[in-house]
A and B are shown apart, each in its own frame.
Chain A
């Protein structure tokens, strides 16, 4: 089945720094999604991407749907302590039994004040 490679696995950064993480796949997706999960809570949708090449922002977050449809990145600018958490990418396809999310393994972000 389809698998996603998400990197880096973890990041330790200073408050105010920019962050970049990405996901790659050996096959294409119709949709890329980015979620953030805080301890003890469910994943919260950050950005949804629907078209190859699409670049979308949500506040300090920017994500892009790769032109080949096999990758996506998420950037966080000027990180703050509340950015701490685990970030998951997820790919989604349409049709048949593929119609649900494939998750990356997550990027754990730690921010030093």
Chain B
């Protein structure tokens, strides 16, 4: 079982809906990540939070809005998505961000399979 928990496992939403993806870890990790993964492709980085502050935004459209309420939780708020946003959204965590040195390997959750209709 993964130590990074993501909910929901599956989500179907219309283009006018607002929904949120949730991620939780209790390993004491201080860096948390959102990745997007399309079928048969590697994960693509979207956002990095380091000590609850947004440190990297990989030019992600504003219809994706991340939030880190505390060191254990990471949310991804979704609004006005497009069908091409359908993908597996993965959350990950590591001991630290590697911005200033070894941060440890990333541990991934099992993802939320998002379908936008």
Q: Is the pair B108, A42 in contact by a Cβ cutoff of 8 Å?
A: yes
**Cα distance, A95 to B90, chains bound together (Å):** 23
- How many A-B pairs with Cβ below 8 Å? 70
* B69 close to A (CB within 8 Å): no
For B2, B33, B97, B105, the residue with the greatest tally of chain A CB atoms inside 10 Å of its CB is B105
Q: Which residues of A contact B102 (CB under 8 A)?
A: 30-31, 50, 94
Task: Give chain A interface residues in 74-113, CB to chain B under 8 Å.
Answer: 88, 92-97, 99-101, 103-106
Q: Which residues of B contact A53 (CB under 8 A)?
A: none
Q: Is the pair A43, B105 in contact by a Cβ cutoff of 8 Å?
A: no
Chain B residues with CB under 8 Å of chain A are 2, 4, 6, 33, 40-43, 45, 48, 56, 90, 92, 97-103, 105-111, 113
Q: Is the pair A103, B42 in contact by a Cβ cutoff of 8 Å?
A: yes
Q: Is the pair B105, A33 in contact by a Cβ cutoff of 8 Å?
A: yes
Q: Which residues of A contact B45 (CB under 8 A)?
A: 100-101
Count residues of A near B (Cβ-Cβ below 8 Å).
26
Q: For A96, give its contact among B4, B99, B109 (CB under 8 Å).
A: B99
**Cα distance, A41 to B112, chains bound together (Å):** 9
- Smallest CB gap from B2: residue in A: A42
Contacts A40-B110, A104-B42 supplied; 13 other A-B pairs, CB < 8 Å: A41-B110, A42-B2, A42-B6, A42-B90, A42-B111, A44-B108, A45-B105, A94-B100, A94-B103, A99-B98, A100-B98, A101-B45, A106-B41
